[in-house]
Structure 1
């Protein structure tokens, strides 16, 4: 019986190719197929980060629409899983690239669960997340001692209540909701404590010590609200 292939979810880091792990490079170079989700900016950056290590491998585009429609998402995740299943049945190992880390707001995990449920071997290769890269850009820690750390998808409605939580708040997916987020931060008295980084670790990285200088939020903008120590 022919051996089936293995699916790897490979985190390629936040942007700087030098921040890729040795393990990620090793897996990418060893796989016959490189799967790349096609939807937003992040996925195209993931491919660009890893391009040096993609030589003779087959690159497969996997359409993953940027929508919150559950039915549309479910259908497309099924299509992608079946697409990759065909390669796995041929005995080919597949590396599914993802920006940052596969376990943090990644489209990969939807495919991972489906492939695993179908009986194939899977493995997650962790990567440096944008959260850690942002903290490094700000030259500060995210949490210390007994401080709590909260990761909040800022673009979803109702998430402003999470600003009441004690500890450091990392607000991701700010996107088009930045102006609304600024309003909520002002209402909670947290605006002055907020800082942001655009495109962390990338050539066009921008550090904002105040949100006053962040006029338009990009796909890669992350806001950090860190409580001041007593």
Structure 2
């Protein structure tokens, strides 16, 4: 006669017990993520991006060098609303936007620091090297990004106070330029005529009606 509710064999008992215990054992985590490629390994790709022209006669690398020339003396400090690297990207966007507007309208480009390659001696300084790499990265990301955080700004300046008023300057309009973005404050290790204080804010501004006029192409 067949048995009902047969008693499991010892092996089956152990298997059920093992499975019950396994539920309370620490479970293995997900496999580790693959390491990101090193910056050195990406340099060939970065250099290829930097050779692209944002407008005739102006490469992404040129933009990065100008960003470096303008901002190499600025450093992060506590209380800033964003890192200097983010502010550099806004400056890069403003330079790129201005070059594109100049190409469309024939207006002269805004004056910025010339795109001068720093010497190897300069780049031996850790601070200078960090600012240089940050500036080139800002230009690459500004060129490749599908989002412009300045919404079309074409001008920028450095101010010694958190002033959000319009920027008025000789030969400009009476209304001045409307601010787009406001970054800072940053430590300025090299005060000069354009950034006269040791504490500096970095702003971008929209073009005015005069900037947008169509001129005869040169």
TM-score between both structures, scaled by the size of structure 2: 0.25
Highest Rg: 1 or 2?
A: 2
Q: Flag the structure with higher strand content.
A: 1
TM-score between both structures, scaled by the size of structure 1: 0.24
